[in-house]
Structure 1
Amino acid sequence: MKKFLAVILLLTLLGSILPTSFASAQGAGEDYTAQADDSLSKLADKFFGDINAYWAIMSATNQANAKDPSYVKITNPDVLEVGDKLLIPSKEDAQTFMATFDPAEGDVGKLFASGAKGQLQVGNWWTSGGEFAGVNAIYELYRQENPDVELIHAGIAGGGGTNFQGANVNKLIAGDPYDTFMLHAGLEAERYTPDLYLQPVDDILAETGVLEVMPDDLKALLKVRGSTYTVPLNIHRGGVMWTNTRVLEKAGLAVPTNFDEFFAACETLKGQGVVPLGLGLADGFELSHTFEDVLLGTVGADKFTGLWNGSVSWNDAGVAQALENFNKLLDCTNEDRGTIGWVGGIELVINDQAAFNIMGDWAYGEVLVNNATDYVKWNPAPGTQGTFFLVSDGFALPKEAPNKENAIEFIKLITRKDAQEAFNQNKGSICARTDCDYNTFPEDRRAYFQSAADDFKTSRIIPMVTHGSGAIPSWATQFGDIVIKFASDRDVAAAQAAFILAAEDAGFPQQ
């Protein structure tokens, strides 16, 4: 039973909570005690003749739990223990519930009761082990300070927000937004028509005092149409080449610093039956992300920045060379790259099956949860030394947030030093504040965080396009589509011509 293909829900029971309305409250339906081999799908089939109606059982049981804790609190529909007390709604009530419930659109609030002060639905795409470990540290702080609020982790899987963003737009347009939702700092806010749907957070940032300890580069990046719509929680470094030192040592290789060295290492590793570069593509953003690293490593920081501000033409010879390099790099990757996502790519390195993985430092969260810090190390992607590919995660406040006061408390919380330290030591990123003390982080991970913080202070900061910071959404989407097509046909001239047209569509005439 795979309930989490579209929506992953992870929630810890709060203290005193009150139920919202549900047709089959405790006075209707029937109690049921879970038996061996039971599952919610099997029970939905048994009682309703519809295996997909398990959501109705989850909602009814959670509403009952709000009144009577002898009923189980269901936080994961895939997990049912022998002896769990459930409330099975009537078939009519289950059909009524399912008629208006769509998990793919993030209707998760209907699955849970409300606290005395309502709910807080946190829309996001953090569903992997390392990602959730980070945001759950924030949740624990919020729950301690707001015990009368039912906090709901409304996570929709899909690396880089691929699936979440579409569902989020639909909810905003329908007038049924999350109370707060995750987005990348920078121009990604344009995806959500901020003037219409988002509340500026400049006053909240000023009130909390966080602007006094926020890097100037980040503050400038946050401004969209003259206002700030994103409260940043972290800063990720996008240009990291994760390296398995055990694999390299066995192969007798040093860490490559440029593409000539990388391709030489690739041939050596392939000759020894080792995958040179672990790569997963199933989450949709990985090809674009990897090519951005290749493009920066090939043309350098000045030309890369110029390509996106119109001062350098996409007809430049460096773009063609970057495509040639990318073509060769793809031949250094695992054959099953299309069937695994970004987590699968870093896991190949963690499991000694690949030497390298080019991915942002959110991959460090997977290194941490797999206890691989002693042999999986970080290096700049080839040719990118002296640069810092910036990706920043944050949260926005919808104008029509159903529980706005709860959302504002969450927004204020994530600006705090203690919250950012708790989050980032698990997520693999550094704080969006300059005063975090990385010496307080667990000893096995301090070195990376201090390294990233030092590099952020001294390196050339470059916003990453794939993750919403460096270009308007329509241009970033075209860029990604071109890279995907190139990975299939390997036509350098066609891809470069398409890049030229995309830049012109974005308002930058090309020579």
Structure 2
Amino acid sequence: MRKALAAVAGLAVAGLVLAGCSGSGDNGGAKGSDDDSKVEVFTWWAAGSEKAGLDALVKVFNEQHPDTEFINAAVAGGAGSNAKNALASRLKANNPPDSFQAHAGAELTDYIEADKLEDLSSFYEDNGLNDVFPETLLDRLTVDGKIYSVPSNIHRANVVWVNTSLLSDAGIDPKSAPADLDAWMADMDKLKAAGVQTPLSVATDWTQVQLFENVLLSVLGAEDYQGLWDGSTKFDSDEVTKAIDAYTKLLSYANTDGTGQDWPVATDMVIDGTAAYNVMGDWALAEFDAKGKTYGTDYTTWPTPGTEGMFDFLADSFTLTVGAPHAGGAKNWLKTISSAEGQKAFNLAKGSIPARTDADPADYPEYQQGAIKSFSEDTVVSSLAHGAAVKVSWLNDITSAIGQFVSTQDGDTLQDALAQAQSKALGK
């Protein structure tokens, strides 16, 4: 629990530091140099499939811009919380990296309000990105008519990763997704009866929030789920009560030692047969590949039961900071990550799908081909756990409430905390 609370506190500190910067005016509106001799890029991609994706991008970058030196400023740990804290400190000290990683969407709000990001609308125009990024994505990137980041990919957060052998041994068809959460939990009862002690694996706090957002999406549907973030759906509604009840029951099938473990631990439980299911974004694909597992044979995937026809969206994106020492280098970096070559190299390594609509699905393996199709056809909603739906301060409050609930299993207290967080964030 200590580690989970530390991550929450870290995110809160980052949000507070940014809020504290917003009125200082120390470097608001300042322009960085057009120097393109180097670029310092700040990420939390320091290990595993994330580092492999970054390395693939850097290789393309070095080919496209051989005269610009790439400086890797990755900060490891905490599912990005350590990096966000370090970034906030640098921004407060007016010592920005040239470009930094962030989740596209509402997570960028604090940086925009603190006047730490350059408007990249003209970059989009100059490089034809408005023509190759889908409208669904452009809408989520636009704030008051301006765009402040360039996505390197698109991830899906409502994915269940399934150990096919465990299900088959329990008499369950692994390729047939349950119709809803009740049917899914009935299958978990069958697994327990067959001797599987942990049907569902979870890990640290944000994975528990991601599981909860999947339950909300399943119970409420796309429209009412999205309504949570503008207040048209209330967190004190009967439907949210049903979602909390379902979430409570789901956790009864999960490992009790998940808090404090990073996401690969939970994914590896499905890979090694300790658990049957894990709800995880499609960055998990690279983990299965790294362990030599074959899609459709050793494991399979389907949308979280009840979310068929919905795509729970998040995207990694990169910025140009106000006062960037090497703004020219940063623009070169943004050109690479938005290029067809850069996106192909990165997404093949990371398991996500390209943001560009001109990508050829045939270049990607089976899972990613399905995800490309789903993103183009399904109802797209924004992920809560990964910064697309709400700003950092609201996510902190929800994460704290979920962390407490995982310990206490007190649904009434959780719902009260969620309602208060919504009222605080929306001023209602």
Which interval holds the TM-score relative to the shorter structure? Answer: 0.7 to 0.9
Shift of 1:425: 1.1
8 Å CA contact 1:234, 1:393 repeated in 2: yes
| Structure 2 portions without partners, runs of 5+ | 1-34
1:14 counterpart residue number: none
Alignment counterpart, residue 306 of structure 1, candidates 221, 224, 227: 227
Q: Deviations over 1:199-223 (max 9, x none)?
A: 1111111111121011101101111
Q: Do structure 1's residue 433 and structure 2's residue 390 form an aligned pair?
A: no
Gaps of 5+ in 1: 1-115
Question: Shift in Å at residue 253 of structure 1?
Answer: 1.4
Contact kept, 8 Å, 1:233 with 1:415, in 2: the verdict is yes
Counterpart residue number, 1:415: 338
Alpha-carbon shift at residue 326 of structure 1 (Å): 1.0
Match of 2:122 in 1: 203
Query: Which residue of 277, 282, 291 corresponds with 2:200?
Result: 277
Residue 400 of structure 1 corresponds to 323
- 1:127 is aligned, of 27, 40, 46, to 46
Relative to 1, partners in 2 of residues 1:447 and 1:413: Cα closer, same or farther, differing over 3 Å? same
Structure 2 match to 1:294: 215
8 Å contact from structure 2 (residues 39, 330) kept in 1? yes
8 Å CA contact 1:169, 1:192 repeated in 2: no
In the alignment, the residues of structure 2 paired with residue 228 and residue 195 of structure 1 have an alpha-carbon distance, to the nearest angstrom, of 15
Q: 1:154 aligns with which of 73, 79, 91?
A: 73
Residue of structure 1 equivalent to 2:105? 186
Higher normalized contact order (CA 8 Å, seq sep 6+, divided by chain length): 2
Q: How many residues align?
A: 388
* CA contact 2:286–2:349 (8 Å) conserved in 1: yes
Give how far 1:305 is off.
1.4
Determine the structure 2 residue equivalent to 1:222.
Answer: 141
Runs of at least 4 residues off by over 6 Å: none
Which secondary structure state, in structure 2, belongs to the residue aligned with residue 196 of structure 1?
coil
Aligned 1:472-483 pairs, distance under 5 A: 472-483=391-402
User: 237, 259, 279: which one pairs with 1:358?
Assistant: 279
Q: Which amino acid aligns with 1:340?
A: Q
Distance in 1 between residues matched to 2:113 and 2:70, nearest whole Å: 25
Query: Which residue in 1 is equivalent to 2:414?
Result: 495
> SS state of the match for residue 309, structure 1?
coil
Query: Is the CA contact 1:159–1:342 (under 8 Å) kept in the aligned structure 2?
Result: no
The answer as to whether partners of 2:101 and 2:319 remain within 8 angstroms in 1 is: yes
Residues in 2 aligned to 1:277 and 1:248: alpha-carbon distance in whole angstroms: 12
Match of 2:88 in 1: 169
Could you tell which deviates more after superposition, 151-160 or 202-211? 151-160
How many Å apart are 1:157 and its aligned residue? Answer: 2.2
Offset of residue 194 of structure 1 = 4.7
CA contact (8 A) 2:49 2:287 kept: yes
| Cα offset, 1:440, TM superposition | 2.2
Distance 1:160 1:229, change over 3 A: farther
| AA of the residue aligned to 1:419 | G
Task: Give the whole-Å Cα distance in 2 for the aligned partners of 1:264 and 1:163.
Answer: 39
Of the candidates 261, 275, 289, which is equivalent to residue 183 of structure 2? 261
Does 2:262 match 1:367? no
**3-state DSSP of counterpart to 2:317:** strand
Q: Write the letter of the residue equivalent to 2:358.
A: D
Alpha-carbon distance in structure 2 between the residues aligned to 1:144 and 1:307: 45
Matches of 1:238 and 1:117, distance apart in 2: 36
1: CA distance between counterparts of 2:54 and 2:331? 17
Equivalent position amino acid for 1:371 in 2 = G
Paired residue type of 2:191: L
Amino acid in the other structure paired with 1:479: I
* Pairs within 5 Å for 1:51-130: 118-130=37-49
Shift of 1:195: 5.4
What is residue 35 of structure 1 aligned with on the other side? none
- Checking the alignment, whether the CA contact within 8 Å between 1:125 and 1:164 is kept in structure 2 is yes
Residues 158 and 191 from structure 1, CA distance in 2 versus in 1: closer, same or farther, beyond 3 angstroms? farther
Partner of 1:376: 299
| Counterparts of 2:113 and 2:354, CA distance in 1 | 25
Q: For 1:179-208, what per-residue CA distance to the aligned partner results, in whole angstroms no more than 9, with x for missing partners?
A: 111011111111324552111111111111
1:386, distance to aligned residue in structure 2 (A): 1.0
Q: 1:369 to 1:194 in 2, by over 3 A?
A: farther
Larger Rg: 1
Normalised TM-score (structure 1)? 0.73
Partner of 1:504: 423
State the one-letter code of the partner of 1:307: L
Structure 1 residues 147, 302: closer, same or farther in 2, change over 3 A?
A: closer
What letter is aligned with 2:392?
Answer: P
Instruction: State the TM-score, normalizing by the size of structure 2.
Output: 0.87
CA contact (8 A) 1:159 1:285 kept: no
| 1:241 pairs with one of 160, 163, 168 | 160
Give the aligned CA root-mean-square deviation in angstroms: 1.7
